[in-house]
Structure 1
Amino acid sequence: MSESEPNQPSRFRRVMGAVGRAALLPVRGAGYLVRSGKAHQHFFLPVLNGALGDQLAARYDRRAIRMNFRRGGQDVAVADLRLSEPQQKTVVFVHGLMGDELIWQTGFQDAPGSRRYGPRLAEEAKLRALYIRFNSGLHLSENGRELSRLLTELVETYPHAIGELVLVGHSMGGLIIRSAGYYGALSPGAENQPTSADEALNDDLRKKNEALQVAQENEEATDNASILRPQASAGAEPAPWLAHLRSVFLLGTPNDGSWLEQNSHLTARLLNRINLFPTRFLSKALNKRSNGIKDLRYSILVDEDWQDAHADDLTPPRTPVPPLPGVQYHILMGAWLRATRPSALREYFGDGLVGQGSARGHTTFGDEAALPAGVKVRTAVFSQQHHGGLLTHPEVFQYLKLWV
């Protein structure tokens, strides 16, 4: 018998130790769930709004999120941002479906003391980082209009503080940015000219916005007539923020639509066509998903498309939203499946939620000859990265740092 054997724990003690650890697993698991719940409680409202935000807004529910800049976990009016550094490059981060501004800053499972893209870029690239939070249950075009209005207010309030403007959007956030560019390029003065067929809807949406502002009486009233698409007039000046815009980063953005929502739409239609009570019930339940989610089917960025009588067709109308002249677009996408999988499968599933073909945006960015003057498109694929992983990947950060 060796000298070390007496110091070894007996078999009985090893067994009892294993039993004790097994007995503590439920306690440790419950503790983890509690800590995780506390860390993620800020997601409650964003998730609720992503699922039912349009319905919350329709009934003037105080839980309906209103688009705003965010700082320290609070809404901040543009006038209260107090930007002073002259001509500083400004990066505006826009989250995705059911997200909020914190996805750009920190995460529960991140290493202690680590920071995400926003704070790191602000420090290492010496730029200004601003964050937007919005109701992701509303139509993409409604949020696009409001983002354009906020950016206009930003550059008009701080004409000497805003230098180059860079927009970074994850998933749905990238679509909101594209929609904002579309409306910003139209005549601001024409935003008060809805068509007669849309006047009732325009009035209804105006009332919703007014109701959501009751708790913010000191805030400057917004132009709520900008819910419907304006008619551009010849020689009209675009929104002033476009003159500052230099780059747009689209992280995992479904530029040509989401295969997941396309399948949900098809399933709801099929269940309804079967026309039995259980299938009709399931179809109605599926169709309760928010307008923002439904718009993801083919990335509907313009009001007329979701207002069209054929909006629910299998191939609905889709107004082209071209890139903005003189802007460099960066398309960053994940490749979730291993390279050993069939290429068609990897292309379809992409990062797990957004297919690679949709992320590339063939209908928008695919034809180089058709791109507006000065538009440049760069594409980067990050291997074995899922949709959420694009928010924490070190190589994605290095790409942003290099090109921002």
Structure 2
Amino acid sequence: MTDSDPKPPSRFRRALGAVGRAALLPVRGAGYLVRSGKAHRHFFLPVLNGALGDQLAARYDARAIKMSFRQAERDVAVPDLRLTQPHQKTVIFLHGLMGDELIWQAGFQDAPDTRRYGPRLAAEAHIRPLYLRFNSGLHLSENGRELNRLLTELVETYPDAIGELVLVGHSMGGLIIRSAGYYAAQASLNEEFGENQKSDESEKLSQHEALSENGELSQRESSPSGNSSFLIPHSSLKKAPWLAHLRSIFLLGTPNDGSWLEQNSHLTAQLLQRIDLFPTRFLSKALNKRSNGIKDLRFSILVDEDWQDAHADDLTPPRTPVPPLPGVQYHILMGAWLRSTRPSALREYFGDGLVGQDSARGHATFGDEAALLAGASVRTTVFSQQHHGGLLTHPGVFQYLKQWV
């Protein structure tokens, strides 16, 4: 060591520095928590609603989220969206359980200036992105009916601004899209059925007048219009304004046939209740406090009548089929979390870690291609070694969206 080299700090100084750094750790930790809290403050309320949102809404708690379009982290009424560009392709994004609209735009751990699917598609595919936030603790069908109402209002308010309509849903969001489609189609069928009834009444009146004048009445066969969820005539969808614009639906990690995680939670709660001891009754009641939205994920209950049924809590509850909409292309994008070296049965069951692959494919809904209604089609794509949340940031998923949106 030469005379010009700086002398190393003494042991005393090193010890003093270590004590000082240790003393500052709580301050630095608190600072990190504050910064993290600020970055995630928008997320606390959606998490609360996902867990207990039905109870918040039942007592009109101000923290209960109401489904709304969102801009700049604020609820925006449909007339205030001020859509002006005519006939622009519009893509509407719906988050999943305990999520919010920002998952489509940016993430806390993303690199600076990183843009997620919504902003990137707007810039590169020249579409109009719209984002919705909803109370994920409510029944899926309650959110589905409200989505149907909002989309109807959107198209009626901006008949010239909305071109093709594309819906993108992650996890629970995909189920709510399907529920909204069911209620829109049923409303169209009911309207058509009402018009048929009016037509029949008018025809009967004409026949009655002819009988009065001619003294005879020709008999005609007639058959009432059905209201089956299996039959959705393509012509009837013209009466549902937003369905007439709908071209594609993207389901990202959507449990179309139910969640194995919620199925196990339900079974656990039932077993604890049957043991019928004080500790097990307590645990069962605590477990059953989870929201209606979470409970509906057991078999993806999309229709009011199913969760209102007296057998809704049975191991095999009633489940009204919700078929694909005619004239709509469905894109099922799902992750495969486990490596390909794992047994195939295990990989199928766990899927992306939260949604099994069989459920994501939706065999009960999309499995029989021959039974799909006119114009409906399904494309299924698997992204290897991707977990449930990773579908929101995967480059391959974005390229797929960009190609098919």
TM-score bucket of the superposed structures, by smaller chain: 0.7 to 0.9
Q: Which residue of 1 aligns with 2:55?
A: 55
Q: Number of paired residues?
A: 367
Distance between the aligned counterparts of 2:98 and 2:250, measured in 1?
19
Q: Which residue of 1 aligns with 2:148?
A: 148
Distance between the aligned counterparts of 2:76 and 2:88, measured in 1?
20
Q: Is the 8 A contact 1:187 1:237 kept in 2?
A: no
Secondary structure of the corresponding residue to residue 168 of structure 1: strand
Instruction: Quote how far apart the aligned CAs of 1:35 are.
Output: 1.4
Larger Rg: 2
Distance between the aligned counterparts of 2:22 and 2:348, measured in 1?
43
Instruction: Quote how far apart the aligned CAs of 1:187 are.
Output: 2.2
Are positions 1:35 and 2:41 aligned together? no
The letter for the 2-side match of 1:117 is: Y
Instruction: Quote how far apart the aligned CAs of 1:32 are.
Output: 2.5
1:364-386, Cα deviation, whole Å (9 max, x unpaired): 11111111111111111111111
> Do the aligned partners of residues 184 and 167 (structure 1) sit closer, same or farther apart at CA in structure 2, a change above 3 Å counting?
same
Distance between the aligned counterparts of 1:145 and 1:103, measured in 2?
23
> Do the aligned partners of residues 16 and 377 (structure 1) sit closer, same or farther apart at CA in structure 2, a change above 3 Å counting?
farther
Are positions 1:379 and 2:374 aligned together? no
Task: State how 1:314-333 maps to structure 2 within 5 Å.
Answer: 314-333=315-334
Q: Is the 8 A contact 1:184 1:238 kept in 2?
A: no
Secondary structure of the corresponding residue to residue 186 of structure 2: coil
Distance between the aligned counterparts of 1:128 and 1:187, measured in 2?
27
Task: State how 1:155-194 maps to structure 2 within 5 Å.
Answer: 155-187=155-187, 190=190
Instruction: Quote how far apart the aligned CAs of 1:23 are.
Output: 6.9
Distance between the aligned counterparts of 1:27 and 1:380, measured in 2?
47
> Do the aligned partners of residues 361 and 189 (structure 1) sit closer, same or farther apart at CA in structure 2, a change above 3 Å counting?
closer
Q: Provide the TM-score with structure 1 as the length reference.
A: 0.84
Q: Which residue of 2 aligns with 1:209?
A: none
> Do the aligned partners of residues 384 and 236 (structure 1) sit closer, same or farther apart at CA in structure 2, a change above 3 Å counting?
closer
Are positions 1:112 and 2:112 aligned together? yes
The letter for the 2-side match of 1:136 is: S
Unaligned runs of 5+ in 1: 192-228
Q: Is the 8 A contact 1:365 1:377 kept in 2?
A: yes
> Do the aligned partners of residues 150 and 27 (structure 1) sit closer, same or farther apart at CA in structure 2, a change above 3 Å counting?
same
> Do the aligned partners of residues 29 and 384 (structure 1) sit closer, same or farther apart at CA in structure 2, a change above 3 Å counting?
farther
Q: Is the 8 A contact 2:94 2:174 kept in 1?
A: yes
- Larger deviation, residues 47-56 vs 246-255: 47-56
Task: State how 1:254-269 maps to structure 2 within 5 Å.
Answer: 254-269=255-270
- Percent identity, please: 84
Q: Which residue of 2 aligns with 1:92?
A: 92
- Larger deviation, residues 339-348 vs 158-167: 339-348
CA RMSD of aligned residues (A): 2.7
> Do the aligned partners of residues 325 and 13 (structure 1) sit closer, same or farther apart at CA in structure 2, a change above 3 Å counting?
farther
The letter for the 2-side match of 1:68 is: S
Secondary structure of the corresponding residue to residue 243 of structure 1: coil
> Do the aligned partners of residues 17 and 351 (structure 1) sit closer, same or farther apart at CA in structure 2, a change above 3 Å counting?
farther
Distance between the aligned counterparts of 1:341 and 1:143, measured in 2?
37
The letter for the 1-side match of 2:244 is: A
Q: Is the 8 A contact 1:348 1:356 kept in 2?
A: yes
Distance between the aligned counterparts of 1:6 and 1:70, measured in 2?
59
Distance between the aligned counterparts of 1:312 and 1:353, measured in 2?
21
> Do the aligned partners of residues 11 and 394 (structure 1) sit closer, same or farther apart at CA in structure 2, a change above 3 Å counting?
farther
> Do the aligned partners of residues 65 and 188 (structure 1) sit closer, same or farther apart at CA in structure 2, a change above 3 Å counting?
farther
1:104-133, Cα deviation, whole Å (9 max, x unpaired): 111110000111111111111101000111
1:317-362, Cα deviation, whole Å (9 max, x unpaired): 1111011111111111111112221111111111111111111111
1:2-40, Cα deviation, whole Å (9 max, x unpaired): 9xx999999999999888777765554443322111111
Q: Which residue of 1 aligns with 2:221?
A: none
